[in-house]
Amino acid sequence: MNSTTIAKLVETYKLPKFRGAQLRKAFFEQQVTKFQDVSTLSLPMRQTLAAEQRVLSFDTEAVFKASDGRAYKALLLLPDGNRIETVLLNPKPGLWSCCISSQVGCGLACTFCATGKLGLSRNLTAEEISDQVLFWRQYICQQRLDARLSNVVYMGMGEPMQNRREVFASLTELMNPDTFGIGARHLSVSTVGLVKPMKEFTDQFPQVNLALSLHAANDTLRERLMPVNKSQPLAALREALQYHADETNRKIFLEYILLSGENDSAEHAEELVRYVRSVDRPALLHTNLIVYNPTDSDHQASARERARAFRDQLEAAGLSVTIRRNLGRDIDAACGQLALKAGETPGYSPSAESSPASL
């Protein structure tokens, strides 16, 4: 459900224009989940819309709850039979963020990412992307979770910049004051580093947060971990980062997964320091260190002591850096773990209150 869909409903069913505003209020303010519950419409119209239309562009197969109650993962079934996953996270009290997908699978084959092993099936539409946010808003309301959805990050399945037309349309919808009304600075888009789309993103959405999945600061290693580096090398990424910094004067986030014995040595840290300093105004670059989350690969997570030493080396060199806390690892909802696993897979246990029937 988005503004375009509501406009089409008004046109298709020859409704007065004010009905569009009523529908927007019902779905985007009151978190109504069914046409039958839009009380401002006549009963016959509610029944007709319920029989012929759908509120969300997918069905809910299951929702999985982490043992600490701070992460949820939803497995969603699209009309064509494809599936995607989306995640709700509670990084601090009173703050909920959702991590949404932009593609079914991913074709970039980063070696540490479970989604990359699925391959790419197709791009999601703008509505399928923004509907994930609407889904979590409804879920928070139904489950009476503490607080509201504050932030949206495009860090789920897929590479957003490979689907930039639909991703950009979804960003516009999420910022639409008549529907989602989310501020640009509460939205973040992550990319492996596709230079041309990154510059288009900078031009069109200068206030939306940009995150670059870096993971190595030398081309040989980065190409081994991320094959896309062959066509999008570090020098080209530096140019895109510089362009974003110059045009927006806003912080850029560098994502760096720590892999034991591969990219976590003192030498690797020094390479990262040199790379960040090679960008004019390096103070705008903030590095998020991520301890590797287990997937079906040969990689191993860096020890906590090594992660701290890596962070300390960056800090000593004057870089802005944090070690990001991983939420949802026990339900394979953490960074790099989205792989469309079925409910019977070990580690998954749909709770009664978050069963597919709850939405």
Catalytic residue positions? 85, 335
What would you report as the CA-atom Rg of the chain, rounded to the nearest whole angstrom?
21
Distance CA 307, CA 291 (A): 7
In the chain, the amino acid numbered 281 is R
Token duo for residue 82:
């494809």
Strands (E), 6-128: 59-65, 71-77, 83-92, 95-99, 103-106, 119-123
Q: Between the CA of residue 98 and those of 20, 72, 136, 241, what are the distances in Å?
A: 27, 9, 7, 25
DSSP-derived letter for residue 192 is S
Distance CA 110, CA 243 (A): 25
Residue 302 main-chain phi, psi, to 5 deg: -65, 145
Contacts of 357 (CB under 8 A, 6+ apart): none
CB 85 within 8 A of CB 156: yes
CB 101 within 8 A of CB 84: yes
**Dihedral (CA of 224, 228, 234, 238) sign:** negative
